[in-house]
Each structure stands twice: as structure tokens, then as C-alpha cells.
């Protein structure tokens, strides 16, 4: 999904909250039909900016206020001299209230209104004014067929408020959903636009608040944006490595040493004062050669870790750890350490098995498969409602949960939720999670709280992926480390 700019609001709402905001506007004296007219004008402006030479528009209308927006859009297009048709998937005479008034205005303006049939030709820009945010179950016929017709039309599609078939709260596709090139969402941003399968359907996202004032309203989540992220404190001229934390990365069983090396490299480039690596002896030569700045230790047993505990600020445990006796014994030492903890990969798989308990207040960074195991559900069930899953994980284990994937989520045990809408598909590759774990550890080491480090770390990680996406596919996880270092400068001056 691509946004037009980062001037979108931070607050994200549920569908019920947006409906309540709409009702409050009407109760405060703004007629519902006036809001519908504002919506139509906002959509028409967006359509003309995106496709100024289209000259034709086909509106697919349903039965609610979403359809009313579409009928009034058709009026504006007719008045501008465009060729306009409304294909009514719901019977126009069944419309009620403001939507019926919009239908009547369209008919009076000479808009051609036809019953939708699969044999109709798709003309110009298609406008999805079918279902809106009120959808609760799977899309039924004839709406499902109309959505498939739009998706196979090879015409550009603008979705009104949200692509029809997308759940406004979870981003899940409810059977079938419109694949839009542009979505114009209204009054408040819906959390479902930013998570789950919605990312493949929203296209470019534009927002219009319709002159509403929602600044003081409650919300269900926030977007990760620059103005809500912490700044690392500037370093004094006399700063030294002892003031910037000591990160210990624990992992790298037989054949998986690269994962631990990536985390250590990331922690080093992300500003930690000191970085140590505890790994299998077979990886020691590679670690010392590749990362001479990292203090690498060959560890054969848990006993060799005990002496390190008092010198460590943050433990990053799990990258390449494995689930053998070696990994289990090292994880058992981490559990008893007094320092902050970041758990990833096999540390989470061992946690899911009940082998250990994680210290409260730690950060966990599961991908969907690991998160599903931690919750004891299927990956499919987890992906169907990622916000609920992230909150459930944070509450069950009393941790900060970073649920990775497109639209990464950060949740705390109290239910606070952050949504990352940055990143790029070029980041679909191995090792990027190891880099994220090391980055979050380094930020905690430098003074961020676990919650701050999780949010800032995810934001920097995704931003680095966007920065490097212009170079094309084939992104290696280690490529991110230098890009993260440059982006960090935006959040923390090197010197006072």
C-alpha cells in the first residue's frame, strides 16, 4: 500500500467508532445529506486528480450510505460533462433516507441508472460504492459477482471509504474484495485499512475528514509516525561506550550462525556502546573476521554465560538459537538475568513449548507462525485478526509484542496498539527479523524503554527497507544495517 504522503492522521478507529463520529456530527447540527455531499466532492476531487483525462466513470452502487456517496459523485461527473453510468447492484427503489435523496438527485440530473449485469461494459474509472464499512460476514451474491467483475475489468478502480469486502477492523478479506488503485476514506482512518490482507486491496490511500473534529475522540490504535516516536538523547562531547549500553546476542547453533551475526551487526550499527556475541565455537572465526568490533565468545555450555550477566544491559536471545539442549540451556540462563530482554525466533518456539517463562516487560518479535504457536491457534486464524492477536500475546505473556509482517503491529499488556504502514515488499527475505531484534536491543541499551524501542525500531527498520527498495529486489538483510544507521541520525543528533 502506498500513501500519498505522511500527512495522514495518527489515530486509527474501529468501524463502530467511525459510525459514532458520523452520528455525533449529525447530532451537532450537520445534516446527513450535507455530509454525503461533502463526501462526494472529496471523492470527485481525488478522482479528477488521479485520472484527469478519463472522461468517463461507472459507479457500482449498493444499498447504504456508501451507495449515496456514489450517486452524488455521479451527479458531479455528469455536470462536468463526463460520460456517467450507475450500475445498481441493489435495487435503487429500496434505498432509504439520505441514500434515497442522493438517488433522486442523480436521476434528476440525468444520470443513467441501470441494474448491474455481468455483461455490461466497464467504462472509464470504476467507483466501488457497494458495501462500505458495515460488512460483518462473507460477501454475498450479487455483490461477490460484481466485485469479481470489477477486479477482472482491467479498468482503474476507486474505492469509497474502504474496498468492498474488506473488514474495517481487521483488514481481512471477507470472501472476496475489491482490488482498488485508490481508496478515499472519510471522517476517520479505519484500522483495517492498514493491516492484514487489506494491504493488497487499498492501493493509494487518501483521507478527508469532511470538516469533522475528531482530534479528542478515543481511538483503537495509532500509526507509527515521526511525530509520535521518541528521539534518542543527543550524545554529550564526553560520551563514552560505557554510557551507551552493552548488548549480548545469544544464538547461532550448528548451521545457523549467520542469524546471530546479523543481530550483532545490527546492534553495533544501531549505536550500542558495546556488543557481545555468545555462539557456537565453529562460528567464532567468522564472527571475529566479519565483526572485529564485536566481542565474540565461543559457548559450549550455559555455565560460560553466567559470568556475563552483570555486565550486560540487554540480552537479545533467539536468532539461530535452535531447539536442541544447547539452545535450551542458554535460554535458561537468559531467563534469570536481571537485564532487559529481546526474544526472537527459537527463543519464542521454546517459550511456546512451555520450556521457560519470559521475564515480564520483555520484547518479543514473532512472525505469524511463531505468534500462532505462542497463542495455540492456526496461522490462518491469527492472520484473520492480527490486531487482536498482537494484543492477546502482549497480555498473555506480559510483554511488548512486535507482530511482524506487512503492517507490523506493536502491542503492550494494557492494550495499546501501534501500526506500521511503512516498508516495502523487497523486504520479503531471510534474516530481516534478526536485524530488527538487534536494532531493538541497541535502542533499549541507549536508554529507550522497551515500548519506545519497539516502536522506533520497527519504524527505522521499515524505513530502511523503503530507502533501499529503489535498488530493486535481492535485498540482503545486512544491507539494512547501514541504512538504519543513517536514518537514526534523524532521531538522534550525534552530539549536543
Which residues fall in the annotated binding site? 66, 128, 132-138, 143, 161, 164, 259, 320, 367, 404-408, 433-434
Strand partners, 83: 56
Binding residues for (6S)-NADPHX: 132-138, 143, 161, 259, 320, 367, 434
Per the rule left: phi > 0, alpha: psi between -120 and 50, beta: everything else, 318 is left
Q: Find where cell 545486512 sits.
A: 478
With CA atoms as reference, report the closest residue to 111 among 133, 127, 132, 134.
127
Q: Residue 28 is placed in which grid cell?
A: 451537532
Q: How far apart are CA 427 and CA 458, in angstroms?
A: 13
Kindly give, in sequence order, each residue whose CB lies less than 8 Å from that of residue 455, ignoring residues fewer than 6 positions away.
224, 228, 229, 230, 410, 418
Binding residues for K(+): 66, 128, 164
First to last CA, the chain: 38
Amino acid at each position: 500500500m502506498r500513501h500519498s504522503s505522511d500527512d495522514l492522521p495518527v489515530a486509527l478507529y474501529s468501524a463502530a467508532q467511525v459510525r459514532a463520529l458520523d452520528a455525533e456530527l449529525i447530532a451537532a447540527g450537520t445534516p446527513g445529506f450535507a455530509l454525503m455531499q461533502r463526501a462526494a466532492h472529496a471523492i470527485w476531487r481525488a478522482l479528477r486528480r488521479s485520472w484527469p483525462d478519463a472522461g468517463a466513470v461507472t459507479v457500482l452502487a449498493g444499498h447504504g450510505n456508501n451507495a449515496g456517496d456514489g450517486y452524488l459523485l455521479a451527479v458531479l461527473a455528469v455536470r462536468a460533462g463526463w460520460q456517467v453510468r450507475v450500475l445498481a447492484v441493489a435495487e435503487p427503489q429500496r434505498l432509504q433516507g439520505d441514500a434515497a435523496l442522493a438517488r433522486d438527485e442523480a436521476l434528476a440530473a440525468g444520470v443513467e441508472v441501470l441494474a448491474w449485469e455481468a455483461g455490461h461494459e466497464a467504462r472509464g474509472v470504476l467507483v466501488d460504492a457497494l458495501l462500505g464499512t458495515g460488512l460483518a460476514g462473507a460477501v454475498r451474491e450479487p455483490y461477490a459477482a460484481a466485485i469479481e467483475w470489477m477486479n477482472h475489468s482491467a479498468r482503474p478502480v476507486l474505492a469509497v471509504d474502504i474496498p468492498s469486502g474488506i473488514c474495517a477492523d481487521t483488514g481481512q478479506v471477507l470472501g472476496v474484495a475489491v482490488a482498488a488503485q485508490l481508496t478515499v476514506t472519510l471522517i476517520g482512518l479505519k484500522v483495517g485499512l492498514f493491516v492484514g490482507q487489506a494491504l493488497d486491496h487499498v492501493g493509494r490511500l487518501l483521507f478527508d475528514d469532511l470538516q469533522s473534529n475528531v482530534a479528542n475522540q478515543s481511538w483503537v490504535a495509532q500509526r507509527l509516525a515521526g511525530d509520535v516516536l521518541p528521539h534518542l538523547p543527543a550524545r554529550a562531547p564526553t560520551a563514552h561506550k560505557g554510557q551507551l549500553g552493552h548488548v549480548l546476542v545469544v544464538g547461532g547453533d550448528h548451521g545457523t550462525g549467520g542469524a546471530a551475526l546479523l543481530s550483532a551487526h545490527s546492534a553495533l550499527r544501531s549505536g550500542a556502546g558495546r556488543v557481545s556475541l555468545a555462539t557456537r565455537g565453529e562460528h567464532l572465526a567468522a564472527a571475529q573476521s566479519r565483526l572485529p568490533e564485536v566481542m565474540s565468545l565461543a559457548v559450549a555450555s550455559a555455565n560460560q554465560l553466567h559470568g556475563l550477566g552483570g555486565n550486560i544491559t540487554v540480552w537479545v536471545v533467539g536468532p539461530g538459537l535452535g531447539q536442541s539442549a544447547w539452545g535450551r540451556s542458554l535460554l535458561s540462563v537468559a531467563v534469570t538475568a536481571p537485564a532487559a530482554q529481546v526474544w526472537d525466533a527459537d527463543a519464542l518456539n521454546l517459550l511456546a513449548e512451555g520450556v521457560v517463562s519470559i521475564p515480564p516487560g520483555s520484547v518479543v518479535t514473532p512472525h505469524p507462525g511463531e505468534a500462532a504457536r505462542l497463542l495455540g491457534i492456526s496461522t490462518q486464524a491469527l492472520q484473520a485478526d492480527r490486531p487482536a492477536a498482537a494484543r492477546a500475546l502482549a497480555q498473555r505473556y506480559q510483554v511488548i509484542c512486535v507482530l511482524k509482517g506487512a503492517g507490523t503491529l506493536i502491542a503492550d499488556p494494557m492494550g495499546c496498539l501501534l501500526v506500521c504502514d511503512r516498508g516495502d515488499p523487497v523486504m520479503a527475505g531471510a534474516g530481516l527479523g534478526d536485524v530488527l531484534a538487534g536494532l531493538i536491543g541497541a535502542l533499549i541499551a541507549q536508554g529507550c524503554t522497551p515500548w519506545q524501542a519497539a516502536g522506533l525500531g520497527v519504524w527505522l527498520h521499515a524505513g530502511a527497507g523503503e530507502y533501499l527498495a529503489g535498488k530493486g529486489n535481492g535485498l540482503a538483510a545486512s544491507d539494512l544495517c547501514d541504512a538504519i544507521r543513517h536514518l537514526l541520525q534523524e532521531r538522534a543528533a550525534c552530539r549536543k
